[in-house]
Amino acid sequence: MSSAAHRDFLVELGTEELPPKALHTLELAFADGIATRLRDLGLGSGAIESFATPRRLAVLVRRLRLHQPDQQITRRGPPRKVSFDAAGAPTRAALAFAASCGVSWESLASERDANGTEYLHYSGLKTGAAAMELLPGLVQASLDALPIPRRMRWGALEVQFVRPVHWVVMLLGNEIVPGALLGITAGHLSFGHRFMAPAPIRIHSPATYAATLERRGKVRAAFAGRRAEIRRQVEALAASLDGRAIIADELLDEVTALVEWPVALAGQFDARYLSLPREVLISTLQDHQRYFALARADGALMPGFITVSNIDSPAPELVRAGNERVVRPRLADAEFFWEQDRRQPLEARLAGLANVTFQAQLGSQASRAQRVTAIARSIAASIGAEVEAAARAATLAKCDLSTAMVGEFPELQGVMGRYYALADGERAAVAQAIGEQYLPRGAGDALPASDIGDTIALADKIDTLAGIFAIGQKPSGTRDPFGLRRAAIGVLRIVLEHRLELDLLALIGEAVRLQPLPDIAARAGALITEIHDFVLERLRAQYLEREGSAGISTEMFDAVLANRPASLLDFDARLRALLAFTATPAGVSLAAANKRIANILKKSRLAGTGTALAVSASLLREPAEQALQRDLAALRAPVEAATGARRYSEALDRLAGLRVPVDQFFDGVLVNDPDEALRNNRLALLAQVRLLFAGIADLSRLPG
C-alpha cells in the first residue's frame, strides 16, 4: 500500500486541571483504548505516542491507514420455506435479512445444509469504511472507557468527563476530522501555557504537535519527557548546592502531573527544624508541599528544598520567597506537635484508645490492641522471638494514633510511635517493632528488619483480615477499602521471604475467634476457611506472576493446594519439589498415571476415601501387580519418612522408581476384571499408589 494511503492522526482534549495522581493512568488508558479499537477495526498504523499535561490528554498515531480493508461477507439467512409465501412473494423474514445485508431481496441466493434444508444465503464484498468517518466514534468510545471513578457535568451540557473540556483538536494529516467529542466540535486550535502563552495555537499537522506546543505554547506535552526534564533540573540544582535531592517516584510523577513548563527553584528553611525526626521533615516537604528534600553526602538532611514551578518567572526570587513563606508555618506546627506529644508517654495514651474507633462493629483501638497482643504472643512463641517484648510492642503499637503529630500527618503512624517509644525509654527492639508494624506498606516496600517487627506486622494484618471478613466486608471486584489484598500479600511476603515457620490456619483461627461479634463461634469454621482461601489465592498470584517462579503452573499450585498445608513454608517446599519432579520423564509419566488412577477410582466405590483398602497378596495373580505391590511396600516407609520430614524432593525421587512397575501394571493387568474380588483388590492396590503420592501433592491435577 502506498504512503498516500496512510496519514498521521492526532486527537487532543483540552481540559481544566486534571487530577494529578490519575493523570498518567488516564494518559496510558486513552492511548491503549485507541490502539485497541484501531486494531479491532482493521485500521493498521505505525507507532502510537501519548501526551498528558495538567490541561490536556492527547494521542498521536503515526501512519494510520485511511480505509478499512474490504471484507468478503458470507451470511446464512432464514430457511427458504419461511422466506416466501405461497405466491412466491418475499415475507418479512426475507426482507429483513436482505436489509441487514444492505441488498434487495432479489440479490439473495439459496443453499442447502448437510440435512437438505434450504436457506437464504448472501455472499458479497463489504467495502471498508474511511478512517475519517470512524475516528470520532472510536475516540469517543475510548474516552467513555477511561477509568474515571466519578465523572462530572458542566454548563448546560449533558456530557460527562473527569473535568470540563474546553477544546478538541482532531486532525488526520492536515485535515480536521469532522465531528464532536464531549460536546465540543473538533478543530485545529490548541492552547499553550495558561499564563505564558494563552493565545490560541494552530496545529498544522499531527507530526508537529509536540514541537509546536513547546516552541509557541511553552508546554512540554510528553509526560515522560517532562518527568525526565524535572529530574534533570532537580538533580543539577541539588548538586550545585553540594547536596542530593531525595526523589521519590510517586512525588516525581505527581509534580510532573502538576506542571506544563517545569522550572526548578531552591528554597531554605530555619536549620533548627533539622532537630525534628527525619520522616516529619520529609513528610512536610514532600507529601504536604510537593517539594524535594535535600540531603548531604552522608545522608543527613539539609535546611533546604527544591520546588518545581509551573512558570518561568522574570522574578524567581519572589517565587522562592513565596514557597519559603508557605513551608515555614508547616514546620513550626510540626515542631509544636513534636514537643507537645512528648510531654505524655505512650503508655499513658492506652486508656484513650478506648475512645478511638477501629471499626463500628469491631470496637475500639483499645480492644484491637488486646487482640493483636494475643496473636503476637502466639506468633512470637512460634518463631522464637521474645514473647514479652512482642507483647509490649503490640500493646503500645496504636498509641501514637492519639498524638497531635499523627493527627496532622496520618502517614506517619507507627513511625512516630517508634520515636515516642525511644523518648520514653522503651527498649530499642520494642520501639523498632512499633515502627515496623505496617510494613510492607505496598508492593516492593521493605519488610520488617526484626523478628519482633515481623511478629507485630503479621499480628496486625491477620487481625485485620479476620475482623473485616467477619463483618462481611471482604473485597469485591476492584473495591478493597480496607486493603485486605495488601494485608494478605504482606503476610505472604513476611512469612516466605523471612522463612518463618507458622501454622497460618491456626493463627487465622485464633484471630477469628477473638473478634468481638456475638455469633463468631457459630461462624468461625466457615470464616477460617474463607480467609485461608483468600490468602492462598494471593499466594497463587505470587507464584504465577513473580520473578523466580518460572515454570510453576496453576495446575501445580492446585496439586499442592489439594493437601491444604497449614504452613506456607511447607506449601513452598512441596511446590518446589513438584516443579523439579515434573521436569523429569518419570514425573511426566507418573503424573499421567495418577490422572488415570484417579479416573478409575472415581468410578469405583473407593472414590473419595481418605485411606486405601488392604490388598490381599493371595489375590495378586499377575506378575505385574505382584511387582507393583512389592515395590510399593518397599517404598512406603522411606517415602513416608521423607514426607514427614518435608524432604519432598527425596520422597518424589524415590517414587520415581514406580514408573516402570506402574507402566507394566497398566500394560499387563486388567483392572476391571469380571471377578469382583480380583477387581476390588486391584482397585485397592491403585488406591495405595495414589495415597502415597497424595501425601505430597495430588498429581492427578497435573496435565497428562
Last residue of a domain, one of 550, 583, 615: 550
Alpha carbons within 13 A on the beta-carbon side of 376: 31
Query: For 384-406, what is each residue's pLDDT tens digit?
Result: 999 999 999 999 999 999 999 99
Last residue of a domain, one of 217, 242, 260: 217
Report the C-alpha gap between 111 and 564 in whole angstroms: 58
User: In this structure, is residue 94 part of a structural domain?
Assistant: yes
For residues 271 and 304, is the Cβ–Cβ distance under 8 A?
A: no
Q: Are residues 121 and 136 in the same domain?
A: no
Q: Are residues 273 and 192 in the same domain?
A: no
Q: How many CB atoms lie within 10 A of CB 142?
A: 22
Q: Are residues 367 and 494 in the same domain?
A: yes
Which residue type, as a one-letter code, is found at position 422? L
Q: Are residues 284 and 402 in the same domain?
A: no
User: In this structure, is residue 84 part of a structural domain?
Assistant: yes
Report the C-alpha gap between 433 and 440 in whole angstroms: 13
What b/e readout covers 617-647, taking b as 16+ CB neighbours within 10 angstroms?
Answer: eebbebebbbbbbebbeebeeebeebbeebb
Any idea what the CATH number is for the domain that residue 605 is in?
Answer: 1.10.730.10
Q: Are residues 456 and 544 in the same domain?
A: yes
Q: How many CB atoms lie within 10 A of CB 607?
A: 13
Q: State the greatest distance between any 2 C-alpha atoms of the chain, in Å, as a whole number.
A: 104
**Four-residue CA torsion sign, 41, 44, 47, 51:** negative
For residues 418 and 435, is the Cβ–Cβ distance under 8 A?
A: yes
Instruction: Mention every residue, 6+ apart, whose C-beta is less than 8 A from residue 674.
Output: none
User: In this structure, is residue 562 part of a structural domain?
Assistant: no
Q: Of the candidates 455, 492, 472, which has an alpha carbon nearest to the alpha carbon of residue 376?
A: 455
Report the C-alpha gap between 304 and 285 in whole angstroms: 10
In the block, cell 501555557 appears at 193
Q: Of the candidates 627, 619, 555, which has an alpha carbon nearest to the alpha carbon of residue 588?
A: 555
User: In this structure, is residue 80 part of a structural domain?
Assistant: yes
User: In this structure, is residue 472 part of a structural domain?
Assistant: yes
**H or E, element range at 58:** strand 56-65
For residues 565 and 536, is the Cβ–Cβ distance under 8 A?
A: no
User: In this structure, is residue 561 part of a structural domain?
Assistant: no
Report the C-alpha gap between 5 and 63 in whole angstroms: 9
CA distances from 186 to 67, 180, 181, 284 (A): 21, 5, 7, 43
Q: Are residues 163 and 274 in the same domain?
A: no
Q: Is the peptide bond before 440 cis (omega within 30 degrees of 0)?
A: yes
Which residue type, as a one-letter code, is found at position 534? F
User: In this structure, is residue 565 part of a structural domain?
Assistant: no
Q: Are residues 455 and 590 in the same domain?
A: no
Any idea what the CATH number is for the domain that residue 462 is in?
Answer: 1.10.3210
Q: Are residues 210 and 230 in the same domain?
A: no
First to last CA, the chain: 48
Q: Are residues 591 and 683 in the same domain?
A: yes
Q: Are residues 385 and 469 in the same domain?
A: yes
Any idea what the CATH number is for the domain that residue 209 is in?
Answer: 3.30.70
Phi–psi pair at 69, nearest 5 degrees: -70, 150
Alpha carbons within 13 A on the beta-carbon side of 697: 32
Predicted local distance difference test score (pLDDT) of residue 624: 92
In the block, cell 516492593 appears at 444
Q: Are residues 456 and 496 in the same domain?
A: yes
Domain count, the chain: 5
For residues 313 and 319, is the Cβ–Cβ distance under 8 A?
A: yes
Predicted local distance difference test score (pLDDT) of residue 608: 46
Which residue type, as a one-letter code, is found at position 682? R
Query: For 613-652, what is each residue's pLDDT tens digit?
Result: 788 888 998 999 999 999 999 999 999 999 999 999 999 9
User: In this structure, is residue 566 part of a structural domain?
Assistant: no
Last residue of a domain, one of 217, 246, 275: 217
Q: Which domain holds residue 668?
A: 572-701
Q: Are residues 431 and 387 in the same domain?
A: yes
Q: What residues form DSSP beta bridges with 126? A: 71
Q: Of the candidates 119, 550, 54, 67, which has an alpha carbon nearest to the alpha carbon of residue 255?
A: 54
Residues of the chain with pLDDT under 50: 1-3, 607-610
